[in-house]
Structure 1
Amino acid sequence: MSCTLPVPRVIHPGSVPHLRWGIVGTGIAASFVHALHAHTAQRAVAVTARNAAKTQKFAAEHGIPVVHHSSSALIADPAVDVVYVATPHTLHYELALEAIQAGKHVLIEKPVAMSAGETRSITAAGRAAGVLVMEAMWTRYLPQTDIVRQLLADGAIGEVQLIRADFGFAMPFDLTHRLWNAELGGGALLDAGIYPISFASSVLGSPTSITAAGVLAPTGVDARADLLLTSASGATALVSTSIITSMPVIATIMGAAGRIELASPFFGPSGVTLTTGPIGSETTATWRDEAFETLNEGLGYQATAFASYVAESRTESPLHPHDEMVSIMSTIDEARRQVAVAAAP
């Protein structure tokens, strides 16, 4: 039996509105703005961050014409169409609501907020204001993800039975780093775990049961977590995350007739392999993403998708809707709770 992969459906960057982006925060934003300018028709026109000198340098490096003294000033700037929130997690909620209240579209780095409750408030505010609110889960907008969607829609592997996905790395313990700081939203689940959890959700939907085990760091953040998620269909997902364990960062969807494997790192441009047929006579097909030299250049896909949704007057992404954003954060909330309870004396 032959084994073939569909062609990814990609939005052409020139087919969407040229939006003017205001950048809040200069950490991960560097990779995003580079991809924005190098591979899309979108442009960053203003930036703000806490350190004035670093912000001026950031603006000069990326050709951003305006530096604002505060996030409120940037949000109020009539030349800004979209606010990209790239601050630490704990600031996402207030910044997103302020931008929405000002009538701006918002792209919020993951996790979109610190809890399902905050996420629900943000998405409700966006719908009420008629602006697009999207989490920067860039994986959803990659070409390889579209290949996976088409394979699942076509029933290429039969009924899905099991998903495995992980994202973990060994981070040196440092009390000054945000990953180890509970007050800054540290821990594995919020930072890395959202990727495999979101991946499982994109295939199976909201889990009907959640079982989590893990360990806490001395600072109280979750250092490692392993989750068993059961879906309404009966399929399960095994997802793992860690900031003390080096993991392969791969994802696999297994069905009755085959499996779909995403190469490492599965959350960025990498590749897809489809395997079908019985053991001993399996056939495979592989697609590799070789469009860019560096991983983070793939961040531009979500910006192009964002602009296309603005053109369609959407308030949420059809590939990552608001209810699912809330559901994913609910899963993280529950996993964090279970890990903390198990670790309690």
Structure 2
Amino acid sequence: MRTFNWAILGPGHIAHKFAESLALLPNARLHAVASRSAAKAQEFAAKFGAPHAVGSYEELLAVPDIDAVYVATPHSEHHAHTLLCLRGGLPVLCEKAFALNARQSQEMISTAREKGVFLMEAFWTRFFPAINKALELVATGTIGEVKHLAADFGFVASYQPEARLFNPALAGGSLLDIGVYPLFISKLFLGEPQDIKAVSVPAGTGVDLTCAMVLSYASGATASLFSTLAAQTDNQCIIYGSKGQLHLTGRFHAANGITLHLTGQEPEVIPCEKQGYGYHYEAQHVQECLEQGLTESPLLPLQFSQELMQLLDTIRQQIGLRYPGE
């Protein structure tokens, strides 16, 4: 079995979880870590047994035998760091939100295609067993015609104007950080909306503290989506059909099962595998794609990510949120 050498660009909070998750894959190992701080890179590499640590992102291109790079820097940096790796011939798994806006993501996609190098958005939710089972149940008509999807994601964030979540220069706000999850799940199950309306409440820095969205679809379905940095919400997703309801159990973006409640019947709990944090599911999929010589994922194609970025742009336009330099 071939072993895949992973590199992490940006050893922050999520990168630690990703590195821990790689240990669940027998044919994956952390090979290199890149940070703006050599000390931070070395500390991270020592913790996870990576043989290479570099103190600049550019130096990563000189590290031999890298099979894939996980870009885990703030949203505002995804575009530049993904282009750096792609132009160096390195396959990229880039954290969501994919970029700052659709213009940036289109350049990333065009560069990947031009170079013939693999690129995928790191939307780990897509690869959870519970999500695949839910898609199967909806596709086979188990809950009938889907009429509505409701999803929320919220937690209380300490207001620190310079921190990632609230800093406009780092593309802060609830929408790009967590609102993207309800938007993603609605697109995954319902497709591209015909119409979308959004409202928000700004934080002191001008980014969205709270964002609420309603969407309608050609099928006749609707969706109500919500994100906030000001309250702990249930972090759930419910899909309402003409024959019953489907609940993703646990936090929906990292679901551990499904509760199926068909009209007139007792609820049925369908447990689904969830190991560790769950980042290894997306890593495994990337490895399978690379093994097959693919340059994009059939389960999370680049067009999907581009359309998702376009929706985020539309929502930000409606709520009046622009980031520096746009």
TM-score bracket, shorter-length normalisation: over 0.9
- 2:35 corresponds to 1:49: yes
Task: Map 1:109-258 onto structure 2 (within 5 A).
Answer: 109-258=95-244
Whole-angstrom distance in 2 between the partners of 1:96 and 1:324: 18
Task: Map 1:266-281 onto structure 2 (within 5 A).
Answer: 266-277=252-263, 281=264
Partner of 1:98: 84
Whole-angstrom distance in 1 between the partners of 2:33 and 2:147: 46
Aligned partner of residue 32 in structure 1, secondary structure? helix
Whole-angstrom distance in 1 between the partners of 2:194 and 2:117: 31
Contact 1:248-1:264 at 8 Å conserved across structures: no
Q: Structure 1 residue 91: deviation in Å?
A: 1.0
Deviations 1:291-330 (CA, angstroms, capped at 9, x unpaired):
53x4x2x111110011111122222222211111011111
Structure 2 runs not aligned, ≥5 long: 322-326
- 2:286 corresponds to 1:287: no
Whole-angstrom distance in 1 between the partners of 2:274 and 2:131: 15
Write the letter of the residue equivalent to 1:288.
P
Query: Equivalent pairs: percent with the same residue?
Result: 36
Aligned partner of residue 44 in structure 2, secondary structure? helix
Whole-angstrom distance in 1 between the partners of 2:62 and 2:208: 37
Deviations 1:199-236 (CA, angstroms, capped at 9, x unpaired):
00001111111100111111010110000111221211
- 2:277 corresponds to 1:302: no
Partner of 1:10: none
Deviations 1:46-82 (CA, angstroms, capped at 9, x unpaired):
1011222222111111000111122111123231121
Partner of 1:320: 300
Structure 1 residues 331-340 or 86-95, which shifts more? Answer: 331-340
Deviations 1:226-253 (CA, angstroms, capped at 9, x unpaired):
0011122121111000111221000011
Aligned partner of residue 20 in structure 2, secondary structure? helix
Partner of 1:339: 319
- 2:47 corresponds to 1:61: yes
Of the three residues 46, 53, 61, the one matched with 1:75 is: 61
Aligned partner of residue 309 in structure 2, secondary structure? helix
Aligned partner of residue 22 in structure 1, secondary structure? strand
Whole-angstrom distance in 2 between the partners of 1:42 and 1:163: 36
Write the letter of the residue equivalent to 2:11.
T
Contact 1:32-1:299 at 8 Å conserved across structures: yes
Write the letter of the residue equivalent to 1:168.
G
Q: Structure 1 residue 40: deviation in Å?
A: 4.3
RMSD: 1.5
Whole-angstrom distance in 1 between the partners of 2:217 and 2:297: 22
Figure out how many residues of one structure are paired with residues of the other and give that number: 320
Contact 1:211-1:229 at 8 Å conserved across structures: yes
Whole-angstrom distance in 2 between the partners of 1:264 and 1:250: 7
Contact 1:76-1:102 at 8 Å conserved across structures: no
Q: Structure 1 residue 290: deviation in Å?
A: 5.7
Partner of 2:324: none
Structure 1 residues 130-139 or 75-84, which shifts more? Answer: 75-84
With the length of structure 2 as denominator, give the TM-score of the two structures: 0.94
Aligned partner of residue 60 in structure 2, secondary structure? helix
Contact 1:26-1:49 at 8 Å conserved across structures: yes
Contact 2:18-2:280 at 8 Å conserved across structures: yes
Contact 1:205-1:324 at 8 Å conserved across structures: no
Aligned partner of residue 146 in structure 1, secondary structure? helix
Contact 1:74-1:80 at 8 Å conserved across structures: no
Report the CA distance shift for 1:142/1:290 in structure 2 as closer, same or farther (over 3 A).
closer
Whole-angstrom distance in 1 between the partners of 2:311 and 2:199: 13
Aligned partner of residue 224 in structure 1, secondary structure? strand
Write the letter of the residue equivalent to 1:251.
C
Whole-angstrom distance in 1 between the partners of 2:50 and 2:11: 12
Write the letter of the residue equivalent to 1:153.
A
The higher-RCO structure (CA 8 Å, 6+ apart) is 1
Contact 2:71-2:92 at 8 Å conserved across structures: yes
With the length of structure 1 as denominator, give the TM-score of the two structures: 0.89
Whole-angstrom distance in 1 between the partners of 2:113 and 2:265: 47
